[in-house]
């Protein structure tokens, strides 16, 4: 935890929790809605690599994706994710696909 004078450029500050994810394989999972209001999973796998990251008071990672950064951003945005997502160490798309099947939730896989 640390104290910051400003949160994300908004007025006011305070305490925030910042995590430093492990290097290596990582899975991103966003839970959003489709155009009809039904839940949808948006997933991607990549690799967290060493190197500089932003230090503006939020959890950040330097993740490399097989499709490249520009294509990843385009595909992820086109899938309509929410602002927040989960990141888990390791490769978990196959497990999440099983959960999605049980709950009948459609899935967009951005990259593996």
Average pLDDT per consecutive 10 residues, the chain (112 residues; last block may be shorter): 70 73 94 92 96 71 93 95 90 98 96 94
Provide the 10 A C-beta neighbour count for residue 44. Answer: 26
Task: Output the pLDDT for position 94.
Answer: 98
| CA–CA dist 29, 16 (Å, integer) | 22
Task: Output the pLDDT for position 41.
Answer: 97
| CA–CA dist 23, 90 (Å, integer) | 10
Task: Output the pLDDT for position 65.
Answer: 96
Provide the 10 A C-beta neighbour count for residue 10. Answer: 7
| CA–CA dist 112, 109 (Å, integer) | 8
């Amino acid at each position: 935890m640390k104290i910051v004078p400003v949160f994300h450029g908004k007025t006011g500050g305070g305490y925030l929790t910042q995590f430093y994810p492990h290097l290596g394989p990582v899975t991103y999972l966003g839970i959003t809605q489709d155009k009809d209001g039904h839940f949808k999973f948006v997933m991607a796998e990549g690799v967290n690599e060493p190197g500089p990251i932003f230090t503006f008071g939020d959890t950040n990672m330097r993740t490399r994706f097989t499709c490249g950064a520009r294509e990843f951003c385009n595909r992820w945005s086109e899938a309509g994710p929410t602002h927040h997502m989960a990141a888990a160490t390791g490769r978990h798309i196959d497990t999440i696909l099983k959960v999605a099947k049980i709950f009948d939730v459609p899935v967009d896989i951005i990259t593996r």
